[in-house]
Chain A
Amino acid sequence: MAFQSSGPAGVSVAVFSPAPHIQSPARRRVHLRTLLLIVYLVLAMLPIYWMLNMSFKTNEEITGSFTLIPQAFTLANYQTIFTDSSWYSGYINSLIYVLINTVLSVTVSLPAAYAFSRYQFLGDKHLFFWLLTNRMAPPAVFLLPFFQFYSTIGLMDTHVGVALAHMLFNVPLAVWILEGFMSGVPREIDETAYIDGYSFPRFFLRVFVPLIRAGIGVTAFFCFMFSWVELLLARTLTSVDAKPIVAIMTRTVSAAGMDWGVLAAAGALTLVPGAIVIWFVRNYIAKGFAMGRV
């Protein structure tokens, strides 16, 4: 009833409606949009479904015929991964360096993003753009210099080494995203906090960080994601002790006679850690504007 009217006539009810999208002219569009989302998600899930489907099949079934659901359902592919240490250690190695990278990237980027969003200082614009340029460098030819450099300083084949190398592309992104979110928070909040007697660290951690937790959630997720899927640097900088899962999978690809089933199972398992991360940060992403809490 309240939503039937539109335009100025609807003002008195509209003020009380918390969700501004639900007003009459938009109503049909809301349905269209939901439809778009559902169609998109269904289509997007098809390749993933196919990977899961393959992971429960035998190699003969995968290459032999087209079957929508596994005819000879098997868990052997997963068993291979969970029992063979060269497989599961890959997951552990990847998780370790990805987590180190995410924590470090977000931690060093928070103060920097604050500086960029709040202060003018010598060379700030140049510095900001220089940071971004590090993401633009094509990785292929950087591999050899990277390899030489890391060998010299003894960081080859360590988790910290890969985590540091991945900061090259994650830190600029983190600073960039966080700066965007911080610029959305009005300056008055900083000033009010100082008048209330907050010290800078206390203000930053107690007031400011909670305000931009949506941004921090997105940033952490993207750092995790980009480090998790990166292949070239991770493969070049590791040999045994820190060898990531992506590199182990390439080895299977190049081996004579492709082991599709195990590869699909390994691929399916690469989804798990990221899905857990996005599940945890989803509330931060979706929570929205938190001004009222200060």
Chain B
Amino acid sequence: MTKIRDNRAWLLVLPVVLCVAFSAVLPLMTVVNYAFQDIIPPDKHIWVGTEWFQEVLRDEELHGAFLRQLIYSGAVLLIEIPLGIALALSLPHSGWRASAALVLLALPLLIPFNVVGTIWQVFGRTDIGLGGMVITKLGIAYNYAEDPHDAWFTVLIMDVWHWTPLVALLCYAALRAIPPAYYQAAQIDGASRWSVFRFIELPKMRGVLTIALLLRFMDSFMIYTEPFVLTGGGPGSATSFLSEYLTQKAVGQFDLGPAAAFSLVYFLVILLFCWLFYNFIQNVGRDTRDGPDGLPPGA
């Protein structure tokens, strides 16, 4: 869409900028301050340059946590995005069935993080939990509290259960916003179901898919409460991801300097990935716009 150049649009954006800056800028400045200083209570601040950054980047434990985090977030995206799209496509369009399915689908989203961890803590137990019990009955040795792989998979399944509805709801809303004329035109052209998906539904979902992908990436990259409640990051360090490590530093050991340096590095890594994803999806979208469907571009 061609946009009008008009700097007065700033007035429309101003409330948002003020609201966010109010909560964002001062804390961020404080963190940047901490990252370059050694603070000796009560009020002695020593400039240390990049010392904390060097310390953090050399940390072996951190490299392990980073690798685990990458694999975990990758798995989350690979499962949740396709599953969410499939669910959105299979939701009924109207009537009580649509309402009921939407409400049921959204229920896991509404459970606070710590409660999610607690539910799964019991649900996954082989002696008193339904999930663990069923898996054991199927003849699979399973114990999330002792086996690192089981713990890792439990956290992954928990995440899929908790957050796939977010992807599904976003995609569903986008699908519902496609004008019926598009489908009618596709039918006149004799388009197959796959073409309808590929050239109408997918381009129309591009916007929300960007949101879903980035949101799920950021949030899974910062996952903390659920694995912490489930196993405390264990067994060993199987489910101890980056946030867990950060919190240990900041709260547990009270190493404010390294913790601040680490959170800045952490922040930049997320920023970099999001930027890459964002550009990737935008470029994929550009190809689709010139697709052979003869329909109006992704509007």
Contacts and interface: CB of A to CB of B under 8 A. Distances in A.
Contact of B12 (A115, A122, A264): A115
A19 B93 contact: yes
A164 B176 CA distance: 32
A46 interface: yes
B108 A108 contact: no
A13 B115 CA distance: 52
Interface string A1-23: 00000111011001101111101
Interface stretch (B46-54, B55-63, B166-174, B286-294): B166-174
B187 to A, nearest CB: 4
Chief secondary structure at chain B's binding surface: helix
A118 B9 contact: yes
B123 interface: yes
Interface string A156-199: 00000000110110011101110011011011000000000000
Given A34-B90, A120-B4, A132-B274, A289 B176 contact: yes
Given A171-B16, A285-B173, A267 B118 contact: yes
Given A47-B161, A141-B263, A286-B176, A131 B20 contact: yes
A104 B31 contact: no
Interface residues of B, number: 112
Given A141-B246, A228-B112, A18 B180 contact: yes
B4 A118 contact: yes
A208 interface: no
Nearest to A190: B4
Contacts of A103: none
Nearest to B125: A66
Interface stretch (B21-29, B71-79, B142-150): B21-29
Most chain A beta-carbon neighbours within 10 Å: one of B13, B107, B224:
B13
Interface in B80-114: 83, 86-87, 89-91, 93-94, 98-99, 101-114
A198 B16 CA distance: 25
Given A119-B5, A267-B115, A142 B87 contact: no
Nearest to B28: A137
Contact of A177 (B17, B110, B192, B208): B208
Interface in B215-229: 215, 218, 222, 224-225, 229
Contacts, number: 334
A278 B130 CA distance: 28
A122 B23 contact: no
B13 A112 contact: yes
A81 interface: no
Contacts of B251: 140
A149 B272 CA distance: 28
B141 to A, nearest CB: 18
Could you tell me the dominant secondary structure of chain A's interface residues? helix
Contacts of B105: 41, 44
Contacts of B89: 33
A50 interface: yes
B200 to A, nearest CB: 9
A249 interface: yes
B190 interface: yes
A101 B202 CA distance: 32
B99 to A, nearest CB: 5
Q: Which of A34, A176, A229, A263 has the most CB of B within 10 A?
A: A229
Q: Contact size class for A?
A: 35 or more
A15 B110 contact: no
Contact of B20 (A17, A36, A171): A171
Interface of B: 1-10, 12-13, 15-17, 19-20, 22-24, 26-28, 30-31, 83, 86-87, 89-91, 93-94, 98-99, 101-115, 118-120, 122-123, 127-131, 133, 161, 165-166, 169-170, 172-174, 176-180, 183-184, 186-188, 190, 192-193, 196, 204, 207-208, 211, 214-215, 218, 222, 224-225, 229, 242-243, 246-247, 250-251, 256, 259-260, 262-263, 266-267, 270-271, 274-275, 299
Given A46-B123, A167-B23, A289-B178, 5 more contacts: A121-B9, A136-B267, A215-B173, A267-B115, A282-B98
Which 10 residue pairs of A and B lie closest in terms of their CB atoms, listed nearest first?
A274-B110, A33-B90, A20-B183, A180-B207, A145-B30, A119-B9, A115-B12, A145-B27, A115-B9, A111-B12
26 contacts: A17-B187, A37-B87, A48-B107, A50-B130, A65-B128, A115-B13, A117-B1, A118-B9, A120-B6, A127-B17, A132-B274, A140-B250, A140-B263, A145-B31, A168-B24, A186-B299, A214-B176, A214-B177, A215-B173, A215-B177, A221-B106, A225-B106, A231-B112, A249-B112, A264-B119, A278-B110
Interface of A: 6-8, 10-11, 14-15, 17-21, 23, 25-26, 29, 33-34, 36-37, 40-41, 44-51, 54, 62-66, 68, 104, 108-109, 111-112, 114-122, 124, 127, 129, 131-146, 148-149, 164-165, 167-168, 171-173, 175-177, 180-181, 183-184, 186-187, 214-215, 217-218, 221-222, 225, 228-232, 245-246, 249-250, 253, 260, 263-264, 266-267, 270-271, 273-275, 278-279, 282-283, 285-289, 291
